[in-house]
Amino acid sequence: MSVALLLKTAVEYRGRMMGVRMLAVYGLPIGLLAAGALVVQIGFAAQTTLYALIGLAAATAIVYRWRAVL
């Protein structure tokens, strides 16, 4: 996957692409551990909904922030 990303990305953006990939990959174990604990506590449907709402809130915050910067 790393090779495919590097081949399809422009030379100027390869470092940024690998940095974003590392951030995504390093966050997976923490999210999976939290998801396992939450499934036991609140159930699968509620945990999935919670993660979706957190993701939408984060995406909205990013868009709001970028609009202010641009």
What is the share, in percent, of the chain residues with pLDDT greater than 90?
36
In the predicted model, is pLDDT for residue 60 greater than 90? Answer: yes
Per-residue pLDDT averaged across 41-48, rounded? 94
Q: Please tell me the predicted confidence (pLDDT) of residue 51.
A: 92
CB 38 within 8 A of CB 53: no
The Cα 19–Cα 42 span in angstroms is 34
Span 28-56, average pLDDT: 91
Q: Tell me the C-alpha distance between 2 and 4, whole Å.
A: 5
